[in-house]
Structure 1
Amino acid sequence: MTAEVRKAVSDKGGKVIYEYNEFYGDPEPGPPVSEAGLSEPLINMLRSRGIERLYRFQWEAVNLANKGEDVVVISGTGTGKTEAFMIPVLERALRSRGEVVALLVYPTKALARDQARRLSSMMSGVGIPFAVLDGDTPRDERRRIYENPPPILITNPDMLHVGLALSKDYRELVSTVGLVVLDELHVYQGVFGSHAKWILYRLQREAKDEVQFVGSAATIGNPEQLASELFSKEVTVVRGPRRRRGAATHLFVDYGNNSRWSFASYLISALTKLDLKVLAFTDSQQMAELVARIAKRSFSAEVGVHRAGLPAEQRKEVERAFAQGRLRAVVATSTLELGIDIGDLDAVVMASLPKSFSSYLQRAGRAGRRGRPGVIVTLLGDDPIEAYYASRPADFFNRPPDPGYIEPSNREVAKLHLVALSLQRGALRASGLPAALLQVLNEVEEMGLVRARGDVVLATPRAAQDYVEARGIRSTGPIVKLHRGGRVIGEREMPMALYDLHPGAVYYHGGKVYLSTSLDLGRMRAELSPLPESVSFYTKPLYDIDVIDFSPQDSRLAGPVRLAYGDVHVMVSVRGYVVKDESSGQVLSEVYYEEPIKWDYLTKGVMLKYPLLDFGGVEQSLSAYHALEHVLISASRPIVGASDTDLSGVSYPTGHIVIYDSHVGGNGASRLVFERLEEIEDMAEAIVGSCNCEDGCPRCVFSPYCGNNNKYLSRRGALKVLRALRGLGPEKPEGLPRGGMRAA
């Protein structure tokens, strides 16, 4: 199969620049199931599934969990993590007496229901009933669950959040839970992880006895730290093999003179013509739509799209069609990184290097499952990190998984869960609240959502309930509804909605092309009108970013660089957009508004003060520090596991740079930048130092997210600053800079 894939690559002018082959056998064996201290029903169930012996890591995890310890299991895809956490769950369920004793929590509703189908034979094999309880559970079924609780409940964080806050029956149902399993633990980071932390805290407040946690993931670099943050408890980490069982070939591909998106579309089509089942990934909702569109229009390939923002039933139909073989190719964002059953896959195509090595491993792990070899093709091109690993490919495959991060003090997250907790508990003692919740109490009271009477905090029932029901846990920013002809067809979170849906923007949705005709930020409403299928261009916003205020909470020195971490007040001003050719990416035109569209928000970030060097003029200084800002954000991707869209930046000719979380309230990525700046600077110097361009190009300092369309950039200037760090003392601390390059 690899030879045919190589030929398909070369036929379109691409080139395989690196091949990495992996083969992993079974994990280290442990004891026979009869000697593992398991109950007879479990021994019989495992034997009926062909399991006569546990792997060593499974036995270690089971042993610790059965002793009541909080455990995190880290082991590659297909190595048997499920048995490691299900055996303790089933042991506990066998001892239950008419109450829920274990929760299996999956990050999405679709994955929870998919896993319920997979796990049903295991649970029925020991005679244990279970139920799925989520937003789709019919009212009658929900009532049966409340009246006759099963020992095991399968759910998702969204249901936990709403149920705890708004349903007395639900609170009583889960109050008896003693064991909570979080599978796909690596997903619980960023804003979603921050929400999950407080949901689990609220669950523990409701539980009659202490809650034990078991986490499971294939890839995460700091499992102990992340799990301890999420569970608010110390954990023990058990490690299995890093990679899955089986064989796979990884190919790094240079796509030559083609555009990235057209080559990805071609490759998907070419592989399906080889009778391969293909899953392709992009890191952008709009690019997923674009790749599928080009594949259909230019290469006559029938390709499905699976991404957030599409109706749930549309995503489910894509999953069904793909699993059943009615679709041979799907383009997805991270929505299909998780273990939703889509059948066997032959090939994975990544249109760009994923935001993190952990994400790469998750995506690659979908190919060659169930004993079949797979091929993984990743396109590398004009991107600083891709160029870095194109020249050092072995380093990429020898990397450790990336760390997970959350921002537990995100004020928007804290406000929601303080209100939810006040509804859940009826009355709270302010003196007993965690600091992160206490710090937003006055703000929530001013919003009319709670009332504080001395030390007692009470919810304002109607207002508080409306507030909880109106806000989800997948985001912190306001949600813009997409309207077409009076009908809502989708949604987009701010601030990304401002970049994607500004007036004049071309927007891809559900395989169709639309023009954004208006964006009303007061009503959080965008109006879309259809464009003809023949449209062959797309748009990118032009915008400025101003740091209105910065309030430091922590500071340190990194060599001569002073840096502070804290609250950032950001103003985004979209002043126009560029129109680009769909195939080549060339700029066709620029459009500017009479008045910019502005929106401001609070987040977390890092302010850096670099030495002020002489570059011969303000414009030259501006270009040097602007380029440095870009390359620092690029270098953050492999160091902290953040994508370009997780972090944004502002630079000034004074040597000040602010790198901040792109999500409202913060997502935790900039905190890791604060902690690991030295590593980031080392990689940044390697990127700009090894590029042989004149003074800036897509392989070193350009960014696809630059609000100035990559103007005013100097690779040489950025390199000069980074090399100057070796012999300078610290700069004196200064306040907010004024003027200069305000856009990332």
Structure 2
Amino acid sequence: MEHSEPVSSYEEALRRLDLVARRQKGQVIYVYREESREEFRDEVPLSRLGLPDPLERALEAYGIRGLYRFQADALERYRGGEDLVIVAGTGTGKTEAFTIPLLEDLIGRREAYTKPYAILVYPTKALARDQYIRLRRLAEGHLGFRVAVLDGDTPRDERSRIYSSPPHILVTNPDMIHYGLIHSQQIRRLLSNAKVLVLDEMHVYKGIFGTHVKWVVYRLQRLAGDLRFIGAGATIGNPEELGSKLFGRRPSIVWGPRRRKGEAVHALVSIGSGSRWTLSAAVIAALTKMGLKTLAFVDSQQMAELVARIAGRSYGVRVGIHRAGLPADYRRRVEDEFREGTLKAVVATPTMELGIDLGDLDAVLMVNLPHSFSSYLQRAGRAGRRDNPGLIVTLLGDNPIEAYFTRRPREFFAQSPDPSYIEPSNREVARVHLVALAMQEGLLDKSTLPPELAAVAEEAESLGLVRDVRGKLYPDWGKARQYIEEQGGLRSVGPQVTILEDGKKKIGYREMPAALYDLYPGAIYYHMGKLYLSVKLNLERMVAEVRRLGANVNFYTKPLYTVNVVEILPLESRDLGPLHLVYADVKLVIMVTGYIVREEYTGRKLYVNDYKEPLKWSYYTKAMVTRYPNPGITSPTALISGYHALEHAIIAAAKPVVGASEHGPRRNKLSFRAHSYL
């Protein structure tokens, strides 16, 4: 085990980083230095803003003497009655940009509204509670406005207090609103009083999750009436379009600085012929032994566990794990230890991409190139906050996109934040919210529904979830409740599989279809730093049974699987050159046919195990469908190989375009599959 040798400069850190990479057959190939100061120099003094005296005094007591230009701009536009989307980098003060206008409005209307006046929505419970502490210091500590958190962890007595004596500002999350509107008359009554809805971390609301949130906002608006909207996010390439879709009307855009004050050093590291996982563990160990508090991002839950395991076994470094599917108290303990500095390194999936306060974070490692440049900026923004320099290290392998930027690194840093898209017409999502709205309101007049929800009414009726009586939709309460429960949370892409140790003790969960790729019989499953063998996966009961293994296992497993398109429902089409492109709802069938066993450190194949009967799962998603012409290749082997290469090129190119990872045992937000028609 090596000793810690703190570094005095980032030049020295980069030199050591290159030595570590070369030992693992890689090297540092490019360094980019980023500095952001000019945008923060021109402050508007509080005395020139016309703020109420109590608010001005409170801000001064809080340590704020003036507002940056974009914060003052947000204040003026809010005073003018506009809906806002505030786009500013992590740590630049975007929270104050919407909090100050809300507090000014509260002071002016102290007796003229029902509570809560504002609902602040954060995408996760952890982030909501983190921001709640900041809000309380200003709103409650200095101005006497009560702030409260309502989520699944709120104790019963605190909930009763919130219902009987609502706070001025309510902090919550989309899932709480979604389920509360369905199941709780008290929550419906509480939310119906709101006048302003704030969606913070708005850049997260894209894809399937964003589409869910769009319909939650619509349902809340039907309940509360004419809400004011504010969105705030760090990396949004199309804020006006995204805001219009989420809010149902066009917002005004306030642009702030892209990144926080200070300097960041970005290093791109080629993996070369080495192992990504072994190199990432070596880099984490080296950074922490340089005295740098380090957060590493991976795109797979199991790879988070594997990297932490290698770092501990090979380098003697204690590394925390932060991912979905772990108990909430375990994740909170990791957050607390990391913030306090008793834990120096954490490997996380995107659960730590958001702005949870982690204290002074020195370095960020990205084990994979993120699926979008916006995600890269968000993760990179975690390092060097509070005016400290930050070191951001990214590993590049041989997949087409990473190989491209290995050759053209300057182009990577010249990118702008990519646009965020949601798809209101997604039938799976629309059906959930049609049923939820029917339960929320008791009956629905089909003529009042937006076309996307009306389009799935017949489908919902055929499933027995609603009844159509002369244009009025009534929920079948029993089936509707069961259906909503089976769908899981708003982030879910499928039902949850409960993981039982020895068939009895619940140790976690995994969502479908990801569970199919992680918990197939024979799989090595990593959980909280421990190793388990999956012995049974029951897809009817949605239960996986696992057995604890010893610590000396030196291999891991990967599933062998196929994905087949069994149904195509065209939505729209167009011609592009010789290709006819069809955008469609598609039904996929996944079949896990066995698994491959690989050596833990090198990734070398040890053996393959094939099942007698495959595991199957089907679901609907969106797809772009086309038929490629035969290019005139006469050799069947060459033709199949060419189409296979095209498949991988499409997968790699599609990731940064649509903001999703490939279909398979990494992330499963969207599915990609190229089919050859010979």
Q: CA deviation at 1:645?
A: 4.2
What is the aligned partner in structure 2 of residue 685 from structure 1? Answer: none
1:174 partnered with 2:186: no
Classify the secondary structure of the residue corresponding to 1:385. Answer: helix
1:16 partnered with 2:28: yes
5 Å matches for 1:352-391? Answer: 352-391=368-407
Once residues 387 and 368 of structure 1 are traced to their aligned partners in structure 2, the CA distance between those partners, rounded to angstroms, is 28
What is the aligned partner in structure 2 of residue 137 from structure 1? Answer: 154
5 Å matches for 1:526-545? Answer: 526-545=544-563
Distance of aligned partners of 1:508 and 1:58 in 2 relative to their CA distance in 1, 3 Å threshold? same
The residue type equivalent to 1:37 in the other structure is: G
The residue type equivalent to 2:66 in the other structure is: R
Once residues 647 and 599 of structure 1 are traced to their aligned partners in structure 2, the CA distance between those partners, rounded to angstroms, is 14
Which shows bigger deviation, 306-315 or 6-15? 6-15
The residue type equivalent to 2:69 in the other structure is: R
Give the number of equivalent residue pairs: 659
What is the aligned partner in structure 2 of residue 436 from structure 1? Answer: 452
Distance of aligned partners of 1:66 and 1:462 in 2 relative to their CA distance in 1, 3 Å threshold? farther
5 Å matches for 1:233-248? Answer: 233-248=249-264
Once residues 620 and 107 of structure 1 are traced to their aligned partners in structure 2, the CA distance between those partners, rounded to angstroms, is 48
Distance of aligned partners of 1:463 and 1:408 in 2 relative to their CA distance in 1, 3 Å threshold? same
1:149 partnered with 2:166: yes
Once residues 555 and 268 of structure 1 are traced to their aligned partners in structure 2, the CA distance between those partners, rounded to angstroms, is 47
Once residues 11 and 612 of structure 1 are traced to their aligned partners in structure 2, the CA distance between those partners, rounded to angstroms, is 48
Once residues 2 and 333 of structure 1 are traced to their aligned partners in structure 2, the CA distance between those partners, rounded to angstroms, is 26
TM-score (normalised: structure 2)? 0.94
Classify the secondary structure of the residue corresponding to 1:609. Answer: coil
Once residues 638 and 544 of structure 1 are traced to their aligned partners in structure 2, the CA distance between those partners, rounded to angstroms, is 23
5 Å matches for 1:569-580? Answer: 569-580=587-598
Once residues 668 and 66 of structure 2 are traced to their aligned partners in structure 1, the CA distance between those partners, rounded to angstroms, is 48
Distance of aligned partners of 1:232 and 1:175 in 2 relative to their CA distance in 1, 3 Å threshold? same
Q: 1:93 aligns with which of 77, 84, 106?
A: 106
CA contact (8 A) 1:505 1:539 kept: yes
What is the aligned partner in structure 2 of residue 188 from structure 1? Answer: 205
> How many percent identity over aligned positions?
53
Deviation track 1:332-391 (CA, whole Å, cap 9, x = no partner) reads 010011111121111111112111111111111111110111111111122221111111
Q: CA deviation at 1:448?
A: 3.0
CA contact (8 A) 2:364 2:383 kept: yes
Q: 1:201 aligns with which of 213, 218, 221?
A: 218
The residue type equivalent to 2:351 in the other structure is: T
What is the aligned partner in structure 2 of residue 263 from structure 1? Answer: 279
Distance of aligned partners of 1:646 and 1:90 in 2 relative to their CA distance in 1, 3 Å threshold? farther
Once residues 575 and 253 of structure 1 are traced to their aligned partners in structure 2, the CA distance between those partners, rounded to angstroms, is 35
Once residues 738 and 18 of structure 1 are traced to their aligned partners in structure 2, the CA distance between those partners, rounded to angstroms, is 38
1:480 partnered with 2:497: yes
The residue type equivalent to 2:460 in the other structure is: V
1:339 partnered with 2:380: no
Q: CA deviation at 1:253?
A: 1.0
Which structure 2 residue ranges, 5 or more long, are not aligned? 1-8
Q: 1:223 aligns with which of 229, 239, 263?
A: 239
Once residues 447 and 614 of structure 1 are traced to their aligned partners in structure 2, the CA distance between those partners, rounded to angstroms, is 47
Once residues 566 and 665 of structure 2 are traced to their aligned partners in structure 1, the CA distance between those partners, rounded to angstroms, is 17
1:583 partnered with 2:583: no
Distance of aligned partners of 1:560 and 1:303 in 2 relative to their CA distance in 1, 3 Å threshold? same
Q: CA deviation at 1:450?
A: 2.2
What is the aligned partner in structure 1 of residue 5 from structure 2? Answer: none
1:7 partnered with 2:15: yes
CA contact (8 A) 2:559 2:665 kept: no
Distance of aligned partners of 1:291 and 1:647 in 2 relative to their CA distance in 1, 3 Å threshold? closer
What is the aligned partner in structure 1 of residue 56 from structure 2? Answer: 43
Once residues 406 and 617 of structure 1 are traced to their aligned partners in structure 2, the CA distance between those partners, rounded to angstroms, is 42
CA contact (8 A) 2:338 2:346 kept: yes
Once residues 179 and 87 of structure 2 are traced to their aligned partners in structure 1, the CA distance between those partners, rounded to angstroms, is 30
Once residues 238 and 168 of structure 2 are traced to their aligned partners in structure 1, the CA distance between those partners, rounded to angstroms, is 32
Once residues 19 and 676 of structure 2 are traced to their aligned partners in structure 1, the CA distance between those partners, rounded to angstroms, is 53
Q: CA deviation at 1:480?
A: 1.5
What is the aligned partner in structure 2 of residue 400 from structure 1? Answer: 416
Distance of aligned partners of 1:239 and 1:533 in 2 relative to their CA distance in 1, 3 Å threshold? same
Once residues 612 and 53 of structure 2 are traced to their aligned partners in structure 1, the CA distance between those partners, rounded to angstroms, is 76
Which structure 1 residue ranges, 5 or more long, are not aligned? 649-660, 671-705, 708-736
5 Å matches for 1:585-600? Answer: 585-600=603-618
CA contact (8 A) 1:288 1:333 kept: yes
Q: CA deviation at 1:57?
A: 1.1
Q: CA deviation at 1:545?
A: 1.9
Q: CA deviation at 1:489?
A: 1.2
Once residues 384 and 509 of structure 2 are traced to their aligned partners in structure 1, the CA distance between those partners, rounded to angstroms, is 34
CA contact (8 A) 1:412 1:476 kept: no
Q: CA deviation at 1:461?
A: 2.8
1:503 partnered with 2:503: no
The residue type equivalent to 2:99 in the other structure is: M
The residue type equivalent to 2:531 in the other structure is: V
Once residues 114 and 578 of structure 1 are traced to their aligned partners in structure 2, the CA distance between those partners, rounded to angstroms, is 42
Once residues 528 and 398 of structure 1 are traced to their aligned partners in structure 2, the CA distance between those partners, rounded to angstroms, is 47
Once residues 171 and 96 of structure 1 are traced to their aligned partners in structure 2, the CA distance between those partners, rounded to angstroms, is 23
Once residues 169 and 640 of structure 1 are traced to their aligned partners in structure 2, the CA distance between those partners, rounded to angstroms, is 39
The residue type equivalent to 1:559 in the other structure is: G
Q: CA deviation at 1:538?
A: 1.2
Once residues 662 and 469 of structure 1 are traced to their aligned partners in structure 2, the CA distance between those partners, rounded to angstroms, is 21
What is the aligned partner in structure 2 of residue 676 from structure 1? Answer: none
What is the aligned partner in structure 2 of residue 491 from structure 1? Answer: 509
Once residues 465 and 542 of structure 1 are traced to their aligned partners in structure 2, the CA distance between those partners, rounded to angstroms, is 36
1:514 partnered with 2:514: no
Q: 2:127 aligns with which of 91, 94, 111?
A: 111
Once residues 480 and 280 of structure 1 are traced to their aligned partners in structure 2, the CA distance between those partners, rounded to angstroms, is 27
The residue type equivalent to 1:199 in the other structure is: V
Once residues 620 and 663 of structure 2 are traced to their aligned partners in structure 1, the CA distance between those partners, rounded to angstroms, is 16
RMSD over equivalenced CA pairs, Å: 2.0
Once residues 26 and 160 of structure 1 are traced to their aligned partners in structure 2, the CA distance between those partners, rounded to angstroms, is 40
Distance of aligned partners of 1:312 and 1:408 in 2 relative to their CA distance in 1, 3 Å threshold? same
CA contact (8 A) 2:627 2:677 kept: no
TM-score (normalised: structure 1)? 0.85
Which shows bigger deviation, 68-77 or 285-294? 68-77
Deviation track 1:583-612 (CA, whole Å, cap 9, x = no partner) reads 111211111111222222221101122232
1:318 partnered with 2:334: yes
Q: 2:44 aligns with which of 10, 22, 31?
A: 31
CA contact (8 A) 1:566 1:606 kept: yes
CA contact (8 A) 1:162 1:469 kept: no
Q: CA deviation at 1:118?
A: 1.6
CA contact (8 A) 2:325 2:510 kept: yes
5 Å matches for 1:344-743? Answer: 344-470=360-486, 471-485=488-502, 486-645=504-663, 663=669
Classify the secondary structure of the residue corresponding to 2:139. Answer: helix
Once residues 163 and 645 of structure 1 are traced to their aligned partners in structure 2, the CA distance between those partners, rounded to angstroms, is 33
Q: CA deviation at 1:190?
A: 1.7
The residue type equivalent to 1:108 in the other structure is: T
Once residues 400 and 337 of structure 2 are traced to their aligned partners in structure 1, the CA distance between those partners, rounded to angstroms, is 37
Classify the secondary structure of the residue corresponding to 2:166. Answer: coil
What is the aligned partner in structure 1 of residue 3 from structure 2? Answer: none
Classify the secondary structure of the residue corresponding to 2:148. Answer: strand
The residue type equivalent to 2:209 in the other structure is: F
